Amino acid sequence: MADALRALYATLMVLSSVGSVCGNLLLLLVLLLNKELRSDTLGLTLSFSLSDLALGLSTIPLGAHNSLSWPGRYPSEGALCQGSGFIFLLLQTSSIHALTWTTVDKFTEICFALSYCSIWTARRTQAVLVLVWLFCLVNAALPLLGFGSYAYSESRFLCCPKFIPDDRYFVVLWMGLGIVAPIVTSCSLYGYIVYVARKQARRGTFMCNELHCFYVPANHYLRSSIVMVATSVCLLVCWLPYISVCLYETFSGQQSPAVTSALSAWLVLTSAALNPWITCMTQT
């Protein structure tokens, strides 16, 4: 990769790192200092926010450093490369899963408002978090145990899973259950919420408090629809190039163009900087 492109890649990674750290720190401070925002499902938001914050402090700066120090690289068999690959996969998977469960929480709050409190209890939220992190830990540990492998990618400037035909079973398992399933679930739930919002906008509703009832204008629901659509588009833009590149390399046995590989890696890591703002937009 040319020096100018490597410098651009490093600059983009630094900006993503700053955005991830600042955005997630701000979100954590708002959630922890404002008692009115605390709920039984707060742990879901804290989980993906902490994962994104850790990505912004570890993996993203490491990618920027490696691109500037090129052609220096880490031995793929070394502890540093294996450890950084494990952390990258663990945080990446835990972030998308926790974000998906946050979407499920929002969907339940909107579509099952009357039974929401009985569905999402503190104990069930804790059980979900334990299962999510257990799945992510096992998933990230599989390459260390011989099912799949970690290696330094010269086009991504990161230690990450090897996308080769020999590891296709691991890649399909990780991509299918760890990445694709959460993304499809989130987009499907957002799509149904948009459908409900448009239906409510056409019908019109009234909301009541202790004093009086008032009409909710249609543009209230339409604004909510725009936010949900933008969130789904953002999720797909960040992840689809990365998924496509990884699957192409795995099943074709050929390396993607360096620019394509680097851009897809940057996009998926940039999602760590966008997630806190998505969370803020989808709150009432």
What would the pLDDT profile of 101-119 be if each residue is shown by its tens digit?
988 888 888 777 778 788 8
What pLDDT sits at residue 99?
Answer: 87
Considering 68-82, 193-207, 219-233, 268-282, the range whose residues carry the highest mean pLDDT is 268-282
What pLDDT sits at residue 108?
Answer: 85
Q: CB under 8 Å to 238, separation ≥6 — which residues?
A: 267, 268, 270, 271, 274
Least confident range from 45-59, 111-125, 148-162: namely 111-125
Of the pLDDT bands very low, low, confident and very high (cuts 50, 70, 90), residue 70 is: low
What pLDDT sits at residue 182?
Answer: 92
Q: With 70 as the cut, is the pLDDT of residue 9 above it?
A: yes
What pLDDT sits at residue 27?
Answer: 86
Bigger pLDDT: 58 or 106? 58
Cα dist. 139→76, 92, 150, 189 in Å?
19, 11, 12, 25
Q: With 90 as the cut, is the pLDDT of residue 137 above it?
A: yes
What pLDDT sits at residue 91?
Answer: 93
DSSP 8-state secondary structure symbol assigned to residue 179: I
CA geometry: angle at 56 spanning 54 and 58, to 5°?
65
CATH fold of 3-281 reads: Rhopdopsin 7-helix transmembrane proteins (1.20.1070)
What pLDDT sits at residue 222?
Answer: 57
Of the pLDDT bands very low, low, confident and very high (cuts 50, 70, 90), residue 221 is: low
What pLDDT sits at residue 224?
Answer: 59
Q: Is 53 exposed, middle or buried (0-12, 13-18, 19+ CB in 10 A)?
A: buried
* 264: its two tokens: 């897809």
Cα dist. 269→104, 130, 170, 220 in Å?
23, 24, 21, 32
Of the pLDDT bands very low, low, confident and very high (cuts 50, 70, 90), residue 154 is: confident
